[in-house]
Amino acid sequence: MIKHEHENHIIYQGDAIEILEHEIKDSSVDLIFVDPPYNIGKDFNGLKDKWSTDELYLEWCYKWISLCLKKLKPTGSFYVMTSTQFMPYFDIFLRSKIEILSRIVWSYDSSGVQAKKFYGSMYEPILFCVKDKNNYTFNSNDILVEAKTGAKRNLIDYRKNPPQPYSNEKVPGNVWDFPRVRYRMDEYENHPTQKPIALLERIIKASSNEGDTILDPFSGSFTTSYVAKKLKRKSIGIEINEEFTKIGLRRVQEMGELNGEKLYREPKIYEVKNFQQQTLFEPKL
């Protein structure tokens, strides 16, 4: 295990279960967001996301879920993702241990590989849970979205007494439309399952306050810690893979170098081409 600490942001390189068990204090975290391996065969830089049986995958998940619940403050919130296939198991496992307040669908515009003989997968499920349904953070005013119905048409809500114009903002429902992170987007990092900044922004704004501590045990490209920092929260990120950890060190701790190796975001193919073209045809430097 390697620990990198800079100001209010801690990055651990190592195994999530080991670090949750030995490094994170019980009842110390305000918000946990977990986007684990989904057991669907993704390649995480050489680490295959596939267990030999579904039971072994679930056994492993139940271990880190239980640890996360221990680490959460009594007022804390827990967001957890997994593949559509396994979410029902997570749901049943969690129901007796924590309050599940919302079953969220993160819906997107493309399934990646186009399915021809079945319906392509266009969403990922997220459970939003709290330890105490009478005492938890939910900053609804910070995540309001446009209400597309009544307000746009200047309608009056006659169910209210006295009747009132419809509000033009509302708290989002449980179907969230955010595009997946694509290669050409500014936020793109070299990670196969990077989550969008906008998704984490909504979660962190709603379920934490400035100065709160946010934990992500499977950090990947460290989107959670990156957004936590932008929103003035403290962050703890765990990631087993060294290459992905380097993304976090650069993205969150703004490190330019690790053990003599320069840390930089790989230029995109078209950036390299543009640069080559510029230097070939406009050798002004």
Site residues for ligand SAM per CB under 6 A = 15-16, 35-37, 44, 47, 191, 193-195, 218, 220-221, 223, 238-241, 244
* Distance in angstroms (rounded) separating the CA atoms of residues 124 and 142: 23
Shortest Å, Cβ 42 to ligand SAM: 7
Q: Which is nearer to ligand SAM, 82 or 213 (CB)?
A: 82
CB of 68 to ligand SAM, least distance (A): 13
Nearer to ligand SAM, 66 or 278 (CB): 66
Task: Between 16 and 130, name the residue whose CB sits nearer to ligand SAM.
Answer: 16
Q: Which residues contact 107 (CB under 8 A, 6 or more apart)?
A: 122, 123, 175, 176, 177
For residue 280 the two structure tokens come to 């070939």
Q: What are phi and psi of 142, to 5 degrees?
A: -85, -5
* Helix locations, the chain, DSSP H: 16-23, 54-71, 87-95, 197-207, 223-230, 242-251, 269-281
Min dist CB 5 to ligand SAM, Å, is 18
Query: In whole angstroms, what is the distance from residue 77 CA to residue 207 CA?
Result: 7
Q: Is the peptide bond before 162 cis (omega within 30 degrees of 0)?
A: yes
- Looking at the Cβ atoms of 153 and 177, the one nearer to ligand SAM is 177
Least separation in angstroms between residue 34's CB and ligand SAM is 9
In contact, 42 and 192? CB cutoff 8 Å = yes
CB of 105 to ligand SAM, least distance (A): 17
State which residue has the least CB distance to ligand SAM: 220
Backbone angles phi, psi at 55, to 5 degrees: -60, -40
Shortest separation between residue 198's beta carbon and ligand SAM, angstroms = 12
Whose Cβ is closer to ligand SAM: residue 20's or residue 98's?
A: 20
Using alpha carbons, list the distances in angstroms from residue 120 to 37, 109, 112, 113, 116: 20, 11, 9, 8, 8
Instruction: Round to whole Å and give the CA distance between 210 and 241.
Output: 29
Query: To the nearest whole angstrom, how small is the minimum distance from the Cβ of residue 102 to ligand SAM?
Result: 19
Nearer to ligand SAM, 129 or 203 (CB): 203
Shorter beta-carbon distance to ligand SAM: residue 81 or 98: 81
